[in-house]
């Protein structure tokens, strides 16, 4: 996990800053006199500057500098490993499990009866360690534990929020519609709530990566008891394949992956050749969300999530899909309030305070997670 | 005109200044060197005579000594007392405060001093120092320094900077600076800041001053350089040359610009030439600042760390853009002075419009980024950038 960070930083320096910035005290014989053709990451930045400065106004510079600087990670404790031992080790690094911290703080408040605290709905058993605000320490790479599985999974801690928001109950049947490379799939399994879990992703190469993650983190017997099913289908068809089936569905759609697009040339959606595809993203996202809702049993829940700041890919997609379902299928869907997440996780994340539909984690240098948009939907009929 | 030793000293210094200016207008360095040697010897002689004279005076009036000793109980205990004592003595002699004592220096006496001063310069070197039957004594040095315009407090301090240096050495070095047109106050500050100056061979100080003149740092300008970078005199010539070479040959500043840089940012002299060159490249290529603005904004005096922190922060915030070939940007960049010549608080409040908490984290992250520029990409750089650019294009 450290390698991608390093590579990311490297790419960032090379691309975002135009010229490579050499080590201090070192001078270059020659600096690039001609500007290379604009790389995709530059195009991404230009695009963001245009759209997000309008969307976020004065907040944009602070988001921008965060996106262009090293992101923070969270260490998701593997409950299939010796989790108490792993937790103790992480505590020694002076990292804290932000989930249990938030929950116990909330419960204290509730007991004191000071605030009108709504009942907490969140997926249980998740332990994710992060370093405090402003602390830029890094976690050492994950290691193979005594039980033959890796001890923790390093991920953007904000990626845990959609899984927490899905509010799993023990015995749930769960679908992860766009699952690869599998960070959230793994988190779903860590709740120990999934009676069975369908993990799907269109890309076979990416489902390969998902399989590897599962192999290194989940013991064989659990995988084999047919609890986890990995498929490579087009998620848009899921409504027809398995309609009205799942208790919980996670729709973590392909998006402009804002942070990623700023430092990785490979697979960058802002490549000129992928312009059409990029423009079609909201459409694809709507289709995937609609399919996810159709696959949900009436009364079940869906979380829609992206790692983009764009409201075209976030609330617009949610609202558009709800209209679509109402008009074409006469299915009623309701957006559920998650604003208590803002208070609950205020110490760890920086939330966008003006979000109307769903919640959005804004990258901030003192808490450089996200972007992560997530919205919880309740299928009523 | 106030009669007495002080006045005579002032006169000598005024003459010195005139002579110095004359010397500067001479083109040929040999002539200038000769003139300056001549002038210096003459001036020192004047001072020496002066000092002797005052010393003689106090020999003639032991009563005064006793009187003053009563007033100053620590007499003779330490240099400090001696200095202040002499100060009083001189003032008494010049100002005529103790008129009942046979201390008042008559006009005639002054004239005699002057005429002797004028002739002494032709005496051979040896004779000059031994007229009084010994090397320059502490008391004489003190008197001379007083005459140069140093306060007795400063003289006390000066004498204690390098207790083991000979008074002659002290006087020689100080005279050299005074002759360069630097006032007593900045000389004092420089010596306090950089005591090793007092250990320098006078010849080297002379050589260095004439070199600095050649670089265009005349009297007025040298004052500032000496003030903020006294090391300019103690540095190895090799190191000075290294910096000048980089500024002229690598950064392609004009001769006048180099002078201006030395004047405005004397600390460039102490910077590692490679780092200085990198800093220039950073300004020119990375930030798009032209030579003239690098000079005018005193860019080179800021540390590379500070420059990068503030520039890259603004750049990532989207508040600074490198101008394109035509010098254009899509946004209006902040003025360079609002980036570098302001406190961090002001920079954050007015230029970056950001919080201190965020900047603190940013600096930590940037430091780590700088550290972690991988070795592999360094070797690539050595091989040449074309390859790197090719690779980037392949990735597209
Ligand atoms: C944001 S990523 C999912 C990340 C994943 N949930 C995780 O947490 O590791 C979006 C994924 O959607 C997949 N995808 C794109 N189009 C799809 C489709 N039509 N059906 C299913 N998956 C699709 C992509 O292959 C990509 O892996």
- Residue A182 labeled ligand binder: yes
ipTM of the complex: 0.90
For residue A217, the surrounding DSSP H or E stretch is helix A204-217
Whole-angstrom Cα distance, residue A339 to residue A116?
Answer: 13
* Strand, coil or helix: A249: strand
The two tokens of residue B336 are 């360079």
Residue A154 has pLDDT above 80, yes or no: yes
| pLDDT tops 60 at residue B360 | yes
> Which chain B residues have a beta carbon less than 8 Å from that of A49?
318
In chain A, what are the helix, strand and coil shares in percent, each to the nearest 5?
A: 40, 20, 40
Can you give chain B as a three-state secondary structure string?
CCCCHHHHHHHHHHHHHHHHHHHHHCCCHHHHHHHHHHHHHHHHHHHHHHHHHHHHHHHHCHHHHHHHHHHCCCCCCCHHHHHHHHHHHHHHHHHCCCCCCCCCCCHHHHHHHHHHHHHHCCCCHHHHHHCCCCCCCHHHHHHHHHHHCCCHHHHHHHHHHCCCCCHHHHHHHHHHHHHCCCCHHHHHHHHHHCHHHHHCCHHHHHHHHHHHHHCCCCHHHHHHHHHHCHHHHCCCHHHHHHHHHHHHHHCCCCHHHHHHHHHHCHHHHHCCHHHHHHHHHHHHHHCCCCHHHHHHCCHHHCCHHHHHHHHHHHHHHCCCCCCCCCCCCCCCCCCHHHHHCCCHHHHHHHHHCCCHHHHHHHHHHHHHHHHCCCHHHHHHHHHCHHHHHHHHHHHC
For chain B, say whether A121 makes contact (Cβ under 8 Å). no
A199 in contact with ligand 1, CB cutoff 6 A: no
Please count the residues of chain B.
Answer: 396
* CA separation, residue A80 to residues A169, A211, A249, B243 (Å): 19, 16, 23, 62
Cβ atoms of residues A88 and A120 within 8 Å: no
| C-beta of residue A197 within 8 angstroms of C-beta of residue A176 | yes
Q: Which of A22, A88, A14 is nearest to A262 (CA)?
A: A14
- Shortest-distance atom of ligand 1 to CA A236: 19
- For residues A352 and B167, the model is more confident at A352
From residue A367, alpha-carbon distances to A2, A371, A381, B98, B357 in Å are: 18, 11, 39, 77, 11
Give the list of residues 6+ apart from residue A205 with CB closer than 8 angstroms, or none.
none
Residues in chain A with CB shorter than 8 Å from the CB of B373 are 10, 13, 20-23
Query: What span, in angstroms and rounded, lies between the C-alpha atoms of B364 and A96?
Result: 21
Place of tokens 């600390």: B267
- The predicted-structure confidence for B203-238, as pLDDT tens digits, reads as follows 888 888 888 888 888 767 888 888 888 888 888 999
Both structure tokens of A103: 């929950």
Find the farthest-apart pair of alpha carbons in chain A and give their distance in angstroms, rounded.
Answer: 69
Query: What's the pLDDT at B26?
Result: 35
Best probe of the A interface among B288, B304, B385, by most A CBs < 10 A, is B385
Work out the average pLDDT over A7-20. 41
User: A residues 57-86 near B, CB within 8 Å?
Assistant: 58, 60-62, 64-65, 68-70
Digit-coded pLDDT (tens) for A116-127: 666 778 999 999
Distance, CA of A31 to CA of A39 (rounded, Å) = 18
User: Between β-strands A372-379 and A333-336, what pairing exists: parallel, antiparallel or unpaired?
Assistant: antiparallel
According to the model, what pLDDT value does residue B183 have?
85
Cβ separation B317–A21 shorter than 8 A = no
- A137 pLDDT band (50/70/90 cuts)? very high
pLDDT digits (tens, 9 = 90+) for A326-379: 999 999 999 999 999 999 999 999 999 999 999 999 999 999 999 999 999 999
Inter-chain touch B396–A39, beta carbons under 8 Å: yes
B370-384 pLDDT, tens per residue?
A: 999 764 444 333 333
SS (H, E, C) A140-165: CCCCECCCCCECEEEECHHHHHHHHH
Checking if the pLDDT of B334 tops 90, the result is yes
CB B52 within 8 A of CB B130: no
- What ligand 1 atom has the least distance to the C-alpha of A250? 6
Sign of CA dihedral A281, A282, A287, A293: positive
- Supply the mean pLDDT for chain B: 70
Residue A230's SS3 state is strand
Is the C-beta atom of A174 inside 6 A of ligand 1? no
Distance CA A157, CA A98 (A): 9
Residue A178 burial (C-beta neighbours within 10 Å; 0-12, 13-18, 19+): buried
Closest approach of B334 to chain A, Cα-based (Å): 15
Instruction: Report the 10 Å Cβ neighbour count for A234.
Output: 12
User: How far is residue B16's CA from residue B23's CA, in Å, rounded to a whole number?
Assistant: 10
In this prediction, residues B293-313 reach a mean pLDDT of 97
Residues on chain A touching B372 (C-beta within 8 angstroms): 6, 9-10
- Report the pLDDT value the prediction gives residue A58, as an integer from 0 to 100: 97
How far off is chain B from A180, nearest CA to CA, in Å? Answer: 23
Distance (Å, whole) CA B153 – CA B158:
9
Q: Does the CB atom of residue A201 touch ligand 1 within 6 A?
A: yes
Q: In testing the pocket of ligand 1, which one of A160, A178, A189 has its CB within 8 Å of the most ligand atoms? A: A178
Question: Is the confidence at residue B103, as pLDDT, over 80?
Answer: no
Query: How crowded is residue B22: how many other Cβ atoms within 10 Å of its Cβ?
Result: 13
How confident is the model at residue A13, as a pLDDT?
41
Query: Does pTM top 0.90 for this prediction?
Result: no
> What residues of chain B lie within 8 A of the CB of A136, using their CB?
361, 364-365, 368
Q: What is the model's pLDDT at position B89?
A: 37
Rounded distance between C-alpha atoms, residue A70 and residue A151, angstroms: 24
Q: Please indicate if any CB of chain B lies within 8 Å of the CB of A225.
A: no
Q: Which chain B residue has the Cα nearest residue A363?
A: B358
- Report the share of chain A in percent with pLDDT over 70: 89
Greater pLDDT, B118 or A258: A258
Considering only the beta carbons, identify the residue of A24, A49, A134 that sits closest to B318: A49
| B247, B273, B331, B365, best to mutate vs chain A, most A CBs in 10 Å | B365
> DSSP letter at A35?
P
- Residues A365, B365: C-beta atoms closer than 8 Å: yes
Q: Which site among A13, A14, A64, A69 would you substitute to test the B interface, given the most B Cβ atoms closer than 10 Å to its Cβ?
A: A69
pLDDT at position A374 is 98
Q: Given a cut of 60, is residue B280 above it in pLDDT?
A: yes
DSSP at A57: G
Mean pLDDT score of chain A: 91
pLDDT in tens, A34-81: 555 789 999 999 999 999 999 999 999 999 999 999 999 999 999 999
Higher pLDDT, B18 or B353: B353
Contact A20, A274 (CB under 8 A): no
Tell me the CA distances in angstroms from B28 to B25, B32, B96, B204, B207, one per residue in order.
Answer: 9, 6, 47, 20, 15
Cα distances (Å, whole numbers) of residue B141 to B49, B103, B182? 11, 21, 19
Residues of A assigned a catalytic role: 307
Per the annotation, does A244 bind a ligand?
no
**Peptide bond between residue A371 and the one before it cis (omega within 30 degrees of 0):** yes
> Which token pair is B196?
């090793």
List pLDDT tens digits, range B40-94.
444 444 444 444 444 444 444 333 333 333 333 343 334 343 344 333 333 333 3
Q: Report residue B136's pLDDT band, with 50, 70 and 90 as the boundaries.
A: low
**Is residue A257 annotated as involved in ligand binding?**
no
A234 labelled as ligand-binding? yes
Could you tell me if B24 and B212 are in contact, meaning their C-beta atoms sit under 8 angstroms apart?
A: no
């Amino acid at each position: 996990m450290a390698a991608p960070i390093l590579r990311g930083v490297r790419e960032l320096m090379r691309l975002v800053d135009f010229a490579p910035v050499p080590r201090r005290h070192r001078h270059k014989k020659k600096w690039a006199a001609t500007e290379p053709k604009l790389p995709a990451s530059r195009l991404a930045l230009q695009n963001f500057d245009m759209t997000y400065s309008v969307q976020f106004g004065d907040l944009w510079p602070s988001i921008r500098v965060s996106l262009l600087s090293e992101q923070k990670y969270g260490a998701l404790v593997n409950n299939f490993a010796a989790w108490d031992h792993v937790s103790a080790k992480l505590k020694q690094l002076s990292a804290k499990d932000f989930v249990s911290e938030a929950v116990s703080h909330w419960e204290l408040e509730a007991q004191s009866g000071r605030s009108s605290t709504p009942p907490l709905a969140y997926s249980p058993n998740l332990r994710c360690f992060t370093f405090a605000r402003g602390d830029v320490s890094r976690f050492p790479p994950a290691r193979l534990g005594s039980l033959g599985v890796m001890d923790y999974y390093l991920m953007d801690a904000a990626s845990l929020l959609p899984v927490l928001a899905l509010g799993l109950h023990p015995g749930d049947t769960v679908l992860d519609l766009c699952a690869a490379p599998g960070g959230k799939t793994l988190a779903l399994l860590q709740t120990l709530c999934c009676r069975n879990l369908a993990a799907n992703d269109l890309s076979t190469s990416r489902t390969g990566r998902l399989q590897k993650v599962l192999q290194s983190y989940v013991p064989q017997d659990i995988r084999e008891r047919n609890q986890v099913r990995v498929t490579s289908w087009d998620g848009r068809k899921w409504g027809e394949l398995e309609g009205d089936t799942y208790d919980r569905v996670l729709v973590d759609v392909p998006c402009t992956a804002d942070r990623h697009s700023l430092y990785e040339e490979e697979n960058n959606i802002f490549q000129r050749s992928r312009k059409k595809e990029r423009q079609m993203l909201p459409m694809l996202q709507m289709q995937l969300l609609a399919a996810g809702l159709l696959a949900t049993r009436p009364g079940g829940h869906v979380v829609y999530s992206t790692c983009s700041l764009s409201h075209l890919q976030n609330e617009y997609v949610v609202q558009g899909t709800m209209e679509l379902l109402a008009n074409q299928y006469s299915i009623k869907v309701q957006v559920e309030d998650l604003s208590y997440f803002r208070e609950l996780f205020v110490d760890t994340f920086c939330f966008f305070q003006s979000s109307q539909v769903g919640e959005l984690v804004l990258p901030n240098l003192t808490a450089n997670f996200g972007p992560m948009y997530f919205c919880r939907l309740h299928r009523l009929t | 005109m106030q009669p007495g030793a002080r006045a005579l000293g002032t006169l000598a210094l005024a003459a010195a200044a005139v002579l110095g200016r004359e010397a500067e207008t001479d083109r040929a360095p040999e002539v200038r060197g000769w003139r300056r040697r001549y002038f210096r010897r003459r001036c020192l002689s004047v001072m020496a005579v002066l000092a002797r004279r005052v010393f003689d005076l106090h020999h003639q009036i032991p009563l005064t000594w006793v009187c003053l000793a009563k007033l100053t109980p620590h007499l003779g205990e330490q240099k400090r007392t001696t200095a202040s004592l002499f100060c009083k003595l001189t003032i008494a002699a010049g100002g005529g405060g103790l008129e009942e004592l046979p201390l008042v220096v008559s006009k005639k006496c002054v004239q005699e001093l002057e005429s002797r001063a004028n002739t002494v310069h032709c005496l051979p070197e040896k004779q000059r120092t031994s007229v009084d039957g010994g090397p320059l004594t502490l008391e004489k040095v003190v008197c001379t320094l007083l005459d140069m315009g140093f306060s007795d407090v400063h003289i006390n301090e000066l004498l204690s900077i390098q207790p083991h240096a000979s008074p002659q050495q002290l006087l020689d070095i100080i005279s050299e600076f005074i002759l360069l047109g630097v006032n007593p106050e900045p000389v004092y500050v420089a010596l306090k800041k950089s005591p090793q100056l007092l250990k320098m061979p006078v010849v080297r100080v002379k050589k260095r001053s004439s070199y600095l003149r050649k670089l265009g740092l005349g009297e007025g300008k040298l004052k500032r350089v000496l003030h903020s970078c006294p090391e300019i005199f103690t540095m190895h010539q090799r190191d000075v040359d290294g910096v000048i070479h980089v500024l002229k040959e690598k950064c392609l500043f004009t001769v006048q610009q180099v002078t201006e840089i030395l004047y405005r940012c004397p600390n460039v002299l102490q910077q590692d030439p490679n780092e200085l060159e990198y800093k220039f490249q950073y300004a020119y290529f990375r930030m798009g600042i032209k030579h003239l603005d690098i000079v005018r904004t005193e860019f080179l005096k800021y540390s590379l760390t500070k420059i990068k922190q503030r520039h890259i922060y603004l750049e990532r915030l989207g508040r600074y853009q490198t101008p394109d070939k035509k010098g254009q940007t899509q946004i209006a960049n902040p003025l360079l002075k609002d980036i570098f010549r302001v406190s961090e608080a002001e920079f954050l409040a007015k230029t970056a419009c950001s919080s201190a908490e965020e900047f603190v984290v940013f600096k930590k992250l940037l430091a780590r980024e700088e550290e972690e520029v991988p070795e592999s990409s360094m070797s690539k750089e050595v091989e040449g950038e074309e390859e790197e650019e090719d690779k980037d294009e392949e990735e597209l």
